[in-house]
Amino acid sequence: MPSHHPLAGVYAAAITPLNEDHSIALNDIPSYLAFLAQRGCHGALLLGTTGEGPSFSDEERYAAFKVATAVRQEYPDFRLLAGTGTPSLEETIDLTKSAFDMGFEGAVTLPPYYFYQADEDGIFYWFAELIRRAVPSDGYLLGYHFPFQARVPIPERVLARLRDQFPSQFAGVKDSTTEAEHTYKIGTALDPNFLALVGNDSLLADTLQIGASGCITALANLHSPSLRKIWDAHQQGQTDPAAQAYIDAQRMVLNKYAPFPPSVKALVARIHGFPLWPVKLPLRSLSPEQTEQAYQEIESIGRES
């Protein structure tokens, strides 16, 4: 069944434009978000993994959140999600509260990822304190479940407890695992309005059929029209196997050039004509040879119809 949650849809895990000195190119953020809106994204997650969020200071994040809202001048319905997770509860509270104060619809928050041996109660109370102190009654918080990267999962029992205690504010989860079954379990075991957004483009069609609400993905920076086709078909009770096959092929190429921030930035520049924005250390930009190789592999798949 199609999801009717206000945040259901296709989101780009947006890259973060940078200047040559590796400061955030603030003036480029609204125009880049407008590009994503033009290509069918319902919204974007700023400063998530693909946006190199953990590499920036709180002040840099505040500045990026503030300028991002300018996209609403041209696209008033474009939804903004803030990546706000840090190992510090106080910093995460400040970032999350600031994003909502600036008009963001939601925050996507990693669990505290330094003390990876924290127990379930510790993770639950950390999120509960965050919600009580930072999330307004009309705001939405999504947990960011990405144990491969963060080493700290958000256990299903924690999700259920948070949903029970904060049925409106704790909206759901961004699930960046590689298993459709996990998305199914968390998207159906809690309640029909629980928001499950997948982080793996290859799972979109299958997970929509079993209860997911959409996606937040790196590939949406490059190929959001195909992702939107899959989404739109589902809303009409149909499927679009050709669009999903195209996304699967593109994802296979992108997986060869992980981590994603350098490769997505290189390909956004090569394919869509944006500046070749650098990445923050410790990441390093793709070489011209790597960029050309990735581009040729993508081109061999064909252009989006």
In angstroms, the CA 18 to CA 16 distance is 6
Does the annotation mark 257 as catalytic? no
Contact 59, 97 (CB under 8 A): no
Going by C-beta distance under 8 Å and a sequence separation of 6 or more, which residues neighbour residue 262? 279, 283, 284, 285, 286
- What 3-state class would DSSP assign to 302? coil
143 forms beta bridges with 109, 173
Going by C-beta distance under 8 Å and a sequence separation of 6 or more, which residues neighbour residue 3? 193, 195, 212, 213, 214
Q: Residues 11, 32, 144, 257: which is the catalytic one?
A: 144
Question: Burial, 287: exposed, middle or buried (Cβ in 10 Å; 0-12, 13-18, 19+)?
Answer: exposed
Rounded to the nearest 5 percent, the helix, strand and coil shares of the chain are 50, 15, 40
Q: Residues 49, 84, 207, 217: which is the catalytic one?
A: 49
> Measured at the alpha carbon of residue 223, what is the angle toward residues 72 and 51, in degrees to the nearest 5?
60
170 forms beta bridges with 141
Tell me how far CA of residue 170 lies from CA of 137, 140, 177, 265, 289, in angstroms: 10, 6, 20, 32, 44
Q: Residues 97, 174, 229, 265: which is the catalytic one?
A: 174
DSSP designation for 218: S
Going by C-beta distance under 8 Å and a sequence separation of 6 or more, which residues neighbour residue 59? none
In angstroms, the CA 296 to CA 292 distance is 6
- In angstroms, the first-to-last Cα distance of the chain is 26
Does the annotation mark 144 as catalytic? yes
Does the annotation mark 114 as catalytic? yes
Does the annotation mark 280 as catalytic? no
In angstroms, the CA 122 to CA 285 distance is 37
Take residue 62 and report the two structure tokens written for it. 């505040």
Active site residues: 49, 114, 144, 174
